[in-house]
Amino acid sequence: MLNLERLRTLDALARHGSVSGAADGLHVTTSAVSQQMAKLEREVGQPLLAKSGRGVRLTDAGRLLADHAARIISQVELAQADVEARRGRAVGELRIGAFPTAMRGLLPPVLAALRVDHPELRPRVREQEPGEGMAAVVRGDLDLALAIDWHNKRMPVPGELTRMHLLDDSVDIAVPAGHPLADRAEVSLAEFREDDWISWNEGQFCHEWLVHTLRGTGIEPRIAHIAEEHHTQLAFVEAGLGVCVAPRLGRGPVPDGVRLLPVSDTVRRHVYAVWRADADRRPSIRAAVEALRQTAASL
């Protein structure tokens, strides 16, 4: 009989395309992945992996079994959801992914509420960028993720996911205290034509949004510095090295040498939760979504 955990390993290999990627997705070592695959090959009596340069690829038999594995795992998840729904209690582990500002500004009270209301539920949280979190939910590596898109640039949501809007997060422009616009009550993006910007990593959704938005106002963005964390970006602003976008969710203390300016054309992010549609019946998912909804409504 085929072993389910080994089928999960094969499924992860097919989805990630490498042993290291499968190991990261399963939170195990690469040697553990190799051992599981070796055992699965012995079970089926034929090779499932073949050498490909410095990596590996699935054989025809491997691809065939991986297709079956994906369907088997989906059915197991449905069965688990049905059993949990019949039990009627939010219990067991719930894997949640969230982008950094949601980790600070939204999740702590949510997790505290879940601990009180559902003591048998064990949330496990991982910080991830929105696109990465959504992909992890699709793969089954996460049960629930918090994601964002922008008022003028939407993030596509795969059809197998359910999405619920939680809140709109307005953002300001952070400028040095000595900036010519620092005393203004309101600004427009077009007024930053000559400024350097501190942005997120290239390729990230928020970086692409910033470039897209500035170009939409006729500005060719001058990205002077890249910093992942908002507090690092604000430190660069305080040092006079540029300006940046400053979301209000999870903002925390602002350096003394930074001024936050509301934008006249109201730049805002949409924050939402996503989970697999076939997990809708799980009480743990429903409990977490309800806690997120109530917390978001209070912000």
* Cα–Cα distance, 188 to 148 (Å, whole number): 23
| pLDDT 10s digits, 51-69 | 888 788 899 999 999 999 8
User: For the whole model, what pTM was predicted?
Assistant: 0.74
| pLDDT 10s digits, 31-56 | 989 999 999 999 999 999 998 887 88
* Cα–Cα distance, 203 to 129 (Å, whole number): 11
In DSSP notation, 158-226 reads -TTEEEEEEEEEEEEEEEETTSTTTT-S-B-GGGGTT-EEEE--TTSHHHHHHHHHHHHTT---EEEEE
Q: Which amino acid is at 279?
A: A
* Cα–Cα distance, 24 to 22 (Å, whole number): 5
| pLDDT 10s digits, 99-139 | 999 999 999 999 999 999 999 999 999 998 888 888 888 87
Q: Are 221 and 207 spatial neighbours (Cβ–Cβ below 8 Å)?
A: no
Would you state the pLDDT for residue 86? Answer: 63
The three-point CA angle 137-139-143 to 5° equals: 30
| Average pLDDT of span 150-169 | 89
Strand partners, 187: 263
Would you state the pLDDT for residue 59? Answer: 93
